[in-house]
Each structure stands twice: as C-alpha cells, then as structure tokens.
Amino acid sequence: MALIYDEPSRTFGEYLLIPNLTTKQCTPANVDLLAPVARFKADPGEFPPDPRKSPLTINVPITSAMMQSVSGAELGIALARVGGLSFIFGSQSIESEAEMVRQVKNYKAGFVVSDSNLRPDARLADALALTRRTGHSTVAITDDGTPTGRLQGILTSRDYRIGHTPLDTAVRDLMTPFEAIHSGRAGITLQQANELIWKHKLNCLPIIDAQQRLVYLVFRKDHDAHQEHPLENVDKEKRLVIGAGINSRDFTERVPALMEAGADVLCIDSSDGYSEWQRDTIEFVKSRYGSRGLVGAGNVVDREGFLYLVESGADFVKVGIGGGSICITREQKGIGRGQASAVIEVARARDEYFRKTGHYVPICSDGGISQDYHVTLALAMGADFVMMGRYFARFDEAPGRKVRINNQTMKEYWGEGSNRARNWQRYDHGGSGKSQLEFEEGVDSYVPYAGKLKDNLDVTLAKVRSTMCNCGSLNLRELYQRARLTVASSVSIHEGGVHDVIPRDMRSVPSET
Ligand code: RVP
C-alpha cells in the first residue's frame, strides 16, 4: 500500500520567524555568514560543529545554479569576489566548461580576459553585433580573433560613427593600430598598470606577452575594485574559488578535465539524485582523487535520498525537486516536494547522521527562493547554504541577453530541462540509448533586469544579517539552533502584505485642486 505522508508539503512562503532577544553585541556588522561546503569530521557532542573544520568554506552561504543562463565565468568571478560560490554549468562541451573554470582561476583583480575580440578583416557590422552581445564597447583586434592572439589594435566606439561609417569597412581601417597604443607587459602589478593608465590618460590598457600576444585588459574603472571585496573567497594561492557541474554520463572524461582546470568542488547536476548513477559518479571521483576531489550530489527531498548519497561518499547534498522558478517537473511528472518540508526533513537526517557518525555533511537548499527572506528561512530550517538561479539570471554578469519587452528591460532565463538548454543528462534514467529530452521539464522565460550582482547581493545580505539579529544569532549555527518558526495561515500572510491602504505609486498621486 502506498505511504501517504500526514503532513502537507510546505514551502518557504508559509513560514515566519519569531524574534528572540537581541543582545547589544548582536549588530549586523558582527554577523558572520561563514558556511561549510564539504563534509568534515567533528566531535558529535559539538553541535552544530564549527564550519571552519570543513575543507571548503564560503564567506556567504549563497551559490549560483549550474545553468546555461546563470553560471558562466563572469558570474563565477563576480560571486566569488563577494563571498559566494558559482557552479559553472555542465551542459556544454567538456573543453568549454574547463575553459570557464580556468578563466575564473586565472582571474586577477583588475585584469580581465578580453571577451570582445575580432580579426583585422572583420567588418564594422561584426563589431557592432559583438558589442551588442557582450555589452562591452572595447574590442581587441587580434590576428586570429581570439582573446590570446597577437594584438593588432584596439577598436572602441570613438573609432566609428554609426550611420556614417559604412558597415562593410574592415576593422583594420578603423582601429587604433598596435604601434599607436600604450600597452603593459605581462607580470606588471595592478598598481603599475594603473600608473600607466593615469599617465597616458587611457581608458583601457592591454597587457601583452613577449610575443605581442594579448593576455589581459585593464580598465580605468577597475582601479580600486580590490578594496571593495573583503569577503572574497580565495584558495591557498589567492585564486578565486569555483565549482563545476558534472553529470553521471560522461564523468570519466569531464571530471579529469575540470580537476586539471582547477575546479575546487564538483557537483552532480540531476533533477533526481536518488539513483545508482550518482553512486557510480561519486565513487569515480573519490577513487581517482581521494580527499582532493570534493563532489556534491543531488537533488533529493527526503531522508532516504540524503542517506543514500551520504553513504555513497557525497561531500554535500543538494535538496529540492520541482521548486525552481522555471521548473515544470511537478506538472509534467507529479514528483517533488514543497521546498521547506524537504529542507526540514533532510536537515534532521543530516543532524542524526552527524550525531551517530561524527560526519557532518552540509546540505544546500536549491530552487524556489523568490523573496530575499526565503534565504534566511532556508538557513533557519537547517540549510548550510542555498543555490539560486532566477535571482542571478537578472544581473549584468549572467550570460542571458538583455531585451526590452513592454517598455521594461528583461534578461533571458531558461531552464536546463527546456528545449533551449537540452540538458538531457540531467533528466536521463539510462537504458533508452537516446541522447535527447523526450519531453520538457523547464521553460524558457524572461526575468526583470536588475543591474550588478554586487549591488543586489549587498541588499539581500543586509536583510539576512538584520533578521539574524532579530533572532539573536551572530552566526549560522546560532540561527539554526535558536530559530523559532511558525506556519502562517493564509489570512496572516495577507496581513503581512500592504493592506487596507492605497499605495502611493504613480497611479494614485492625487491631482492638485
Ligand atoms: P530558481 O532559483 O527558483 O530559479 O531555481 C533554480 C534551480 O532550478 C536550479 O538550481 C535547478 O535545481 C532547477 N532547475 C534548473 N533547470 C530546471 C528545469 O529546466 N526544470 N530546473
């Protein structure tokens, strides 16, 4: 007979936190958001254990989803710089995923790998299409059109007049040629580069090697960016920390390439992780790389799924099925669970496992975060960190294009289970031999454009820290231990919104009488 759970499947929007005593030292500036990412051993009597024992920690408990429309190298860099962690999407060729990992690992504050490059014989029309796509107006002209080819010149919007310069003009006839530009030699410090920028009144300084090959660009606006990132997540060699998505199909080739590129942590990307395929994948990583190969698994929504992955050796477990904003798995297949119920049950299983074995295995709440306060609720319910897709897809650093719809600026955001992403490995159960999606489990959509990642994340984290002070908690362990949560009735949810007033927006400004 089927097991029917007595409790309904609940989600974040149904809960509220009840404040605890706020002591005087409990101020947002004193709140520490450090979170463990990978499993570690500790004394079972020490509960919750100190996250600093984990081989990998993050300064901010936020990760970005391994999705084509979310986690490329640019977002990976931006998120690591503010203390979080990205997982580069795995639904691309092994070479291009490894290249994105390398770009993040090679990132030096202020030095950027040029993302807009053309050959000298390209036409002005190509340059305009490229700058529209990347949003960057400085184009490096290299002999082979790659970011590391021999530098021939630089093209900026000051080198042509739209509407006047013929679109078929070769960029070699418009660019400032190499002989006329100032450049720096690879190996110079950011301070030296900035001195050249100021001395020659430049907007951009190309950095080249002994063979005149382009290595980086340094822009004037990045001048003091370094001091703005005290929570940056870096490895022992001061390189940014980055994760990478893998699947349970081509892992014997993909994992070595990503490890070679410098990925700090891997994660198996699957909508349903309670499978023998995941066990094989974890075993491969562990047998090949031992404790150096950190690998998360998932997604699961219950105790059994969690324990299966933990006993298979997973370093962290991702929780959530069907709650993603672009996800239609519940509609298509009728599987899944409300995100809050899933996190609460899996957190209990993690605690039980830790008390029994002394192994603490972090859990990640993945998907369904539609309000900033849902982050705090997920952490209060026991998630060690959260993963978000929609949230990040809105930012400049996400790969989707910016478009205007109904007079509003939007960004594209598409699910990994949509026909656009065609990430069949994420949904495959094996057996058929088919390498394609048989039906969609995700949609292609738009989200309102929201600007820079850092500006938005600063506000979200300010809310998290403030709520933690309401709950009398200076770190995430205290929050989990002390949090008191209540299920809100639908009438009290209504009470929590603006009610019984007419909001003073543009439509309601009274006319002068
Ligand atoms: P959200 O933050 O609510 O946009 O959810 C992001 C999560 O949704 C991802 O981390 C992933 O687990 C899930 N996802 C990604 N693609 C799809 C799909 O096409 N159904 N779902």
Rounded average pLDDT per 10-residue block, the chain, 513 residues: 94 97 96 98 96 98 98 97 98 97 89 92 96 90 96 95 94 96 91 90 94 93 67 90 97 98 98 96 98 97 98 98 96 96 98 98 98 98 98 97 95 95 86 79 96 97 98 98 96 92 72 63
Q: Is the C-beta atom of 441 inside 6 A of ligand 1?
A: yes
Q: Is the C-beta atom of 389 inside 6 A of ligand 1?
A: yes
Residue having the nearest C-alpha atom to atom 17 of ligand 1: 415
The predicted structure's pLDDT at residue 205: 95
The predicted structure's pLDDT at residue 437: 84
Tokens 């009735």 identify what position? 489
Residue 396 φ then ψ, to 5°: -55, -40
The alpha helices in 314-428, defined as continuous H runs, are 329-333, 339-357, 372-380, 390-393
Q: How far apart are CA 422 and CA 436, in angstroms?
A: 7
Task: Report the predicted TM-score, pTM, of the whole model to 2 decimal places.
Answer: 0.84
Q: Is the C-beta atom of 368 inside 6 A of ligand 1?
A: yes
> What number does the ligand 1 atom closest to the CA of 327 have?
20
Query: Could you write out the DSSP letters of every residue in 237-292?
Result: TSPBP-EEEE-SSSHHHHHHHHHHHT-SEEEE--S---SHHHHHHHHHHHHHHGGG
The predicted structure's pLDDT at residue 276: 97
Structure ipTM over 0.90, yes or no: yes
Residue having the nearest C-alpha atom to atom 10 of ligand 1: 65
Compute the distance from residue 252 Cα to the ligand 1 centre, in Å: 25
Whether 389 contacts 67, CB under 8 Å: yes
Whether 399 contacts 38, CB under 8 Å: no
Compute the distance from residue 220 Cα to the ligand 1 centre, in Å: 37
The predicted structure's pLDDT at residue 283: 98
| Radius of gyration for the chain, computed over Cα atoms and rounded to the nearest angstrom | 25
pLDDT tens track for 4-46: 999 899 999 999 999 999 999 999 999 999 999 999 999 999 9
- Coil, strand, or helix at residue 327? strand
Between the alpha carbon of residue 94 and those of residues 244, 295, 368, 420, the distances in Å are 11, 17, 29, 19
Whether 410 contacts 390, CB under 8 Å: no
**HSE, side-chain direction, 13 A CA sphere, residue 335:** 14
Compute the distance from residue 499 Cα to the ligand 1 centre, in Å: 32
Compute the distance from residue 147 Cα to the ligand 1 centre, in Å: 32
The predicted structure's pLDDT at residue 506: 59
- Coil, strand, or helix at residue 49? coil
The predicted structure's pLDDT at residue 504: 84
The predicted structure's pLDDT at residue 224: 56
Whether 301 contacts 271, CB under 8 Å: no
